[in-house]
Amino acid sequence: MPEKRDLEFRGIGVSPGVVAGLVLVLQGGDDPLPEYAIPPEDVPREMVRLEAALIETRRQLHDIQERVGEAMGGESAGIFEAHLQVVDDPSFVDEVYREVREKRRNIEKVLMEVSERYAQTLLQMEDDYLRERATDIRDVTRRILRNLMGGGSDWLAGIESPRIVVAHDIPPSEMAALDRRKILGLAMELGSPTSHAAIMARAMELPAVVGLHDVCSQLQDGNRAILDGVRGRLVLHPTAAREEEYTRLARSRAVIQKRLETLRDKPAETLDGTAIDLAANIEMPADVKAVRARGARGIGLFRSEYLYLANEGNPSEEQQYTAYAEVARGILPDTAIIRTLDLGGDKLPAGDRRTVEANPFLGWRAIRLSLARPAIFKAQLRAILRASALNPGLRVMYPMISSAGEVDQANAILQECMDELDEAGQPFNRGIEIGVMIEIPSAALTAEAIAPKVKFFSIGTNDLVQYTLAVDRVNERVAHLYEPTHPAVLQLIAQTVEAGRRHGVWTGVCGEMAAQPLLVPLLLGLGVTELSVSPGAVPVVKDVIRRIRMDDARALADEVRGLSSGAEVLESCRGFLRRHAPELLELSE
């Protein structure tokens, strides 16, 4: 039976580039775990085995981190800090030890069970970044298990010629072992733009697509395919016409990317002279270098959660101050917005945890948790205030605000922290700017009441879309309903901007909408004056800003107000970009 031509699989493009070639399908099956009962006298021996495996794993990870740092820079090397934290986490290791004693099962089986519980907890988190940390847990566990069982870690060693590697998932430590000369690109069933595999693919400049559901079962080694890391496509058995189309596209994109590199030191300013604050989102202090390298002006979102994940949910004030001070100094003379704790209560120390929630995404988390645990909140606020003495542009932002009353409560606690620092003689910026995340519809609908209490709004479009449309974008059954251009979402954005304007409060966007070239003109036309995106997206967003006029952007916003569907809005945005920057469509579709 003849093979079908031009079979297209759609996923999420996470690292740009177009390549064509033969595929190598990695099924990635691990060796079966041994499982057996052990007598009480063998419990100490099992613990000694685990300790030896942990020591070897720690040595391997340090070696990987050093090699990755030399080859790919600090951002990629920093990924392995999370892996080392797993190995060094006393609560994780103690739980394994305890269950070996209680269950009297071999260490491999118990380690896997404990690890999977930790991973499942992370997978329940609302934040994409935190959900991806489950991969870290599983990756480290796989390495520890291999060391326990005396196995190697060379499951990619069989690659002899350049191939498009197709896999269910590729853990970071395995990514670090890839020989760039033998890999054309990466296609994975799992992953997201914030996954470590995606981060490392970008650092290695490998085209990559994730979220290709069930693709491994439909491909065979040696099949010819085209991988498009921008549009998020994998085309199996491409026709000659399709190959010619992609060859032209690859050349065109290369020319565009070359031009984008020249924009680093140029302002994010429209053709008619309107300056837009173009900032970057970061996960940890080491990311500040990438912000500078890509030409962003400041940090629009510093996610502080890694401090809590790395310190059993309880980082000290001094630990937090050290991190915030590094960001404050590193970004001078520009500004930086630190978002306060945006985690669920399951990440608190054991004494502060509550029972497991049926729906943690709508539960006790973020600002709700901070207000309920003022000691934890105050430690973070004091650390931020102290760091503000080093950079007057340091700002603080409250997440998951749903009402003006929550802002009042948070500001009252902030004032208490200021009073305490005054009493202790600690310097801080008394005029520090306070802002809130607008990511819940109730916040957008009551923005008029919230605005007098803050200096800025930052719209988290990822969650605003999900909460407005009741769509989990990582649920493949309903992901097609996730529509940033839905008229309801646009109305909430416009209402927020207007409320802010009436009260002298500026409005930014720090969600994925801000990084999409198609949607940037629409956001500016709606009145957004600040965009914060991943460092890698800064050049193309800056290019869009520099090629349009604000009058045209406002006209686009007026045009889409009369449309009834997200698809119609998207088509209007596409037409706008086609008229003003047609070649950029090839970087956004």
Set 83, 168, 196, 486: catalytic member: 196
503 is known as an active-site residue:
no
196 is known as an active-site residue:
yes
Q: Tell me the residue ranges of DSSP E strands in 237-284.
A: 277-282
Sheet holding 233-236, edge to edge: 7-10, 233-236, 224-228, 18-26, 163-167, 183-188, 208-210, 12-15
Short-list 289, 201, 247, 212, CA closest to 9:
212
Contact (CB, 8 A) for 107 and 148: yes
> What count of Cα atoms within 13 Å lies in the side-chain half-sphere of residue 340?
35
Please tell me the distance from the alpha carbon of residue 535 to that of residue 282, in angstroms, as a whole number: 8
- Integer Rg of the chain from CA: 25
Short-list 520, 490, 21, CA closest to 243:
21
- Could you tell me where the DSSP H helices lie in 310-440? 317-331, 366-372, 374-388, 404-424
Short-list 533, 581, 576, 585, CA closest to 554:
576
Q: Which two tokens stand for residue 218?
A: 């439909």
Please tell me the distance from the alpha carbon of residue 210 to that of residue 474, in angstroms, as a whole number: 12
Set 168, 216, 486, 510: catalytic member: 510
Contact (CB, 8 A) for 464 and 401: no
Please tell me the distance from the alpha carbon of residue 290 to that of residue 288, in angstroms, as a whole number: 5
Please tell me the distance from the alpha carbon of residue 515 to that of residue 367, in angstroms, as a whole number: 26
The phi and psi torsions of 6 (rounded to 5 degrees) equal: 55, 45
3-state secondary structure 136-151: HHHHHHHHHHHHHHCC
End-to-end CA distance of the chain: 34
Long-range contacts from 569-572, C-beta under 8 angstroms, 24+ separation: 569/485, 569/486, 569/487, 569/490, 569/522, 570/485, 570/518
Please tell me the distance from the alpha carbon of residue 582 to that of residue 65, in angstroms, as a whole number: 41
Short-list 469, 457, 437, 574, CA closest to 505:
457
DSSP 3-state assignment of 485?
A: coil
Torsion of CA 161, 166, 171, 176, to 10 degrees: 20
Q: Which residues contact 71 (CB under 8 A, 6 or more apart)?
A: none
Contact (CB, 8 A) for 384 and 338: yes
- Residues paired with residue 434 on neighbouring β-strands, in sequence order: 396
Cα distances (Å, whole numbers) of residue 20 to 2, 162, 168, 198? 21, 10, 20, 19
Just list the catalytic residues. Answer: 196, 510
